[in-house]
Structure 1
């Protein structure tokens, strides 16, 4: 699947997940910035992916993609929307070719020529036959990602599948490894690579005839689909940071209500883009747990430090390299501005003082535990058996405010005074909603 097409599928699934069947075809297409014809074509492609990757769906569940998303939310331990990463990874011809190569290398050691001959014999009649150079390129790629290993040092090189780790593990050890990967993939970020490894281990368990129930011990559900979808750009950005390169992209501000815009490849249908084509030196990627959003922070040649929500990024490509000295200077500048940032805010620093109230009932002090786990660099001072003080210097209060508000009556703002007044007005407004009619 082409890069532009993957951007479109990401935004399509994001809207489908959040809105379900609330939009008509025309409204959906307008929001995405595509034609109704393109909408229908994209929907067909996604349904084909679902059909291939979810073989157990009934005809009724496969009819409407939105119904499939709703149905599988509680029926599957796998995260929704991950099927897009599996389906987009390779072109169709590459997928067929690599499958044949890996299947052949499971049972014996083979040379590139032997693999080329076997691949040509088994390729579908309607697919082009690869040449030996293409097969060697595939083997080099598979060796780089660690799927196969070279078994000799002299030509002709012989290759085999890198299954030693899985083959040497006992059933109990393989289950322990699966459980570990399952927990880490579902609780750490980024997570897509962990899910793909989890799928590989699940297949290995299935080959050993271990019952599926043994792998379904935990179920994790996500409220924020961006956590999965926005990882599509994550490794391109990480690669650019590692290589000290700028990136080029088309940015669609989430505030403008436009989720996608197609590339102007056909001069007959060329139109002005709804987004902003720009470039940036990426410096940091930040994940906001409160709202489930990824942020890209980098240096812009005109505006200096710039922060972008990753759900607005499309058509991301690597750009020109920069000098190591310049990159270090920009990174140092950013780190100074982010020193007191709760998430990404770089405005003036404000001291916040809060009194927290411990739970009245006996047992675990979940208020104290949560403040210790999430309070970042803030300091805790014992005040009494029922209360403790929490103080932190943070850039502005807009990002920390929802966290403080989430404690409800267990949290009392002491400083700054204007923030205390804001909370008082908000609680008065909430109280008015519950007044007797």
Structure 2
């Protein structure tokens, strides 16, 4: 029976567990019912090893609850970045990585056959009972090292000659490196696929890595769990290609979806990120939560990309959140508010946050806010912050209106009128 191994082959193995521990933090072992107890114990041990110092626990009658805890104000970088440095590797992977780089650091411009001969005769011949890697294994390793930028190849006749890629950080001055590291310190916590900025910082000698200049009030730590998915989507968008992925938005269900990705939408209030895309099968635009996407496969080029991007922009003009207009009638909302003379800041807030809605003064200290949107339901969290000033609430979506008024009645019963 194979023993416990801290390294993993596929990041998807721990992605859901990390999200559960970070975002929810209330689940016990028995709450992971669809997964075996041994699987849970193995992933828990891995995560506790990766994030030592950031794991908290609480005991209840239901059992021990684990959660990831961190004060973002004190963080220089996202602690979840370390989970990307856990990929398993074979003996050949690590051996050929260093041997090939050592060979080409001495004698560049070598072909596959020349590199193979040197590996066999000069490096491995002194060992007994060692399995000699074949040409195909070495060819694949050279291709991998070229793909990730360690090497570059030049075609001479029908053969490829390999060189170490020396155009990198070694050619930069210390002052330039320091400035780039500060940029990476900002990038890693703010921009999409921030783990790349962190990897660059890790590649540089620690003696010249300065303390980051930036402190962040809000960092969405869990975003990095989707970095590999997001990177593949962004590559497809850049090349105007369709993608196929597995969607897990329904509990215990995996649905294959093929779409043309158009844009990434970032909800700055909730922290959720969405893919806006066109579904050719159903001839409609839609959004997909990126944290519910896995196994992205980049497919064929779609020549209709530009026209769909233009259509998306037009259909999103009346969006409050991420809902895209697909021919359904726009929903109308009217809210009457009381705003005192000394509460000008409330009016400023309405103008600032009210998107494309209009504000009309209908009497002394009384204002009417009206708007037409694709989905009024997306406005409810924002509308709740104005409840104390509302005189009336009218909505063309009767379901949303009744639920909103019912919630206010429940609040009165709970706290008193």
Pair in the same fold by TM > 0.5: yes
Give 2:182's aligned residue.
179
Q: Distance in 2 between matches of 1:244 and 1:9?
A: 30
Within a 5 Å distance, the mapping from 1:186-265 to structure 2 comes to 186-188=189-191, 190=192, 192=193, 194-204=194-204, 206-208=206-208, 214-215=211-212, 217-219=214-216, 221-222=218-219, 225=222, 227-254=223-250, 256=251, 258=252
Give 1:271's aligned residue.
none
Matched, 1:10 2:15: yes
Offset of 1:299 from its aligned partner?
Answer: 0.5
Give 2:86's aligned residue.
87
Give 2:330's aligned residue.
349
Q: Distance in 1 between matches of 2:350 and 2:132?
A: 59
SS in 2 for 1:399: helix
Q: CA 1:170–1:368 in 2, change beyond 3 Å: closer, same or farther?
A: farther
Q: CA 1:6–1:361 in 2, change beyond 3 Å: closer, same or farther?
A: same
Among candidates 311, 334, 351, match of residue 291 of structure 2: 311
Give 1:298's aligned residue.
278
Among candidates 304, 313, 317, match of residue 339 of structure 1: 317
TM-score for the superposition, normalised by structure 1: 0.66
Give 2:256's aligned residue.
278
Q: CA 1:349–1:43 in 2, change beyond 3 Å: closer, same or farther?
A: same
Offset of 1:301 from its aligned partner?
Answer: 1.6
Offset of 1:11 from its aligned partner?
Answer: 1.1
Give 1:70's aligned residue.
69
Offset of 1:42 from its aligned partner?
Answer: 3.4
Matched, 1:160 2:157: no
Q: CA 1:389–1:133 in 2, change beyond 3 Å: closer, same or farther?
A: farther
Higher relative contact order (CA 8 A, sep 6+): 1
Among candidates 121, 124, 138, match of residue 123 of structure 2: 121
Give 2:61's aligned residue.
none
RMSD of aligned C-alpha atoms? 5.1
Is the Cα contact below 8 Å between 1:357 and 1:410 reproduced in 2? yes
Q: CA 1:358–1:395 in 2, change beyond 3 Å: closer, same or farther?
A: farther
Is the Cα contact below 8 Å between 1:109 and 1:158 reproduced in 2? no
Give 1:264's aligned residue.
none
Q: Distance in 2 between matches of 1:69 and 1:247?
A: 33
Is the Cα contact below 8 Å between 2:236 and 2:261 reproduced in 1? no
Rg larger in structure: 2
Q: Distance in 2 between matches of 1:13 and 1:317?
A: 23
Q: Distance in 1 between matches of 2:151 and 2:347?
A: 50
Among candidates 397, 413, 421, match of residue 376 of structure 2: 397
Offset of 1:140 from its aligned partner?
Answer: 4.3
Offset of 1:294 from its aligned partner?
Answer: 2.7
Q: CA 1:387–1:20 in 2, change beyond 3 Å: closer, same or farther?
A: same
SS in 1 for 2:69: helix
Offset of 1:206 from its aligned partner?
Answer: 1.2
Q: Distance in 1 between matches of 2:99 and 2:361?
A: 64
Is the Cα contact below 8 Å between 1:246 and 1:322 reproduced in 2? yes
Q: Distance in 1 between matches of 2:12 and 2:155?
A: 42
Give 2:60's aligned residue.
none
Is the Cα contact below 8 Å between 1:357 and 1:388 reproduced in 2? yes
Is the Cα contact below 8 Å between 1:290 and 1:403 reproduced in 2? no
Within a 5 Å distance, the mapping from 1:17-28 to structure 2 comes to 17-20=22-25, 22-24=27-29, 26-28=30-32
Is the Cα contact below 8 Å between 1:102 and 1:161 reproduced in 2? no
SS in 1 for 2:14: helix
Is the Cα contact below 8 Å between 1:166 and 1:174 reproduced in 2? no
Give 1:262's aligned residue.
none
Give 2:3's aligned residue.
none
Is the Cα contact below 8 Å between 1:146 and 1:162 reproduced in 2? no
Q: CA 1:315–1:148 in 2, change beyond 3 Å: closer, same or farther?
A: closer
Q: Distance in 2 between matches of 1:125 and 1:433?
A: 79
Give 1:261's aligned residue.
none
Q: Which structure 2 segments of 5+ residues have no match? A: 1-6, 58-63
Offset of 1:231 from its aligned partner?
Answer: 3.0
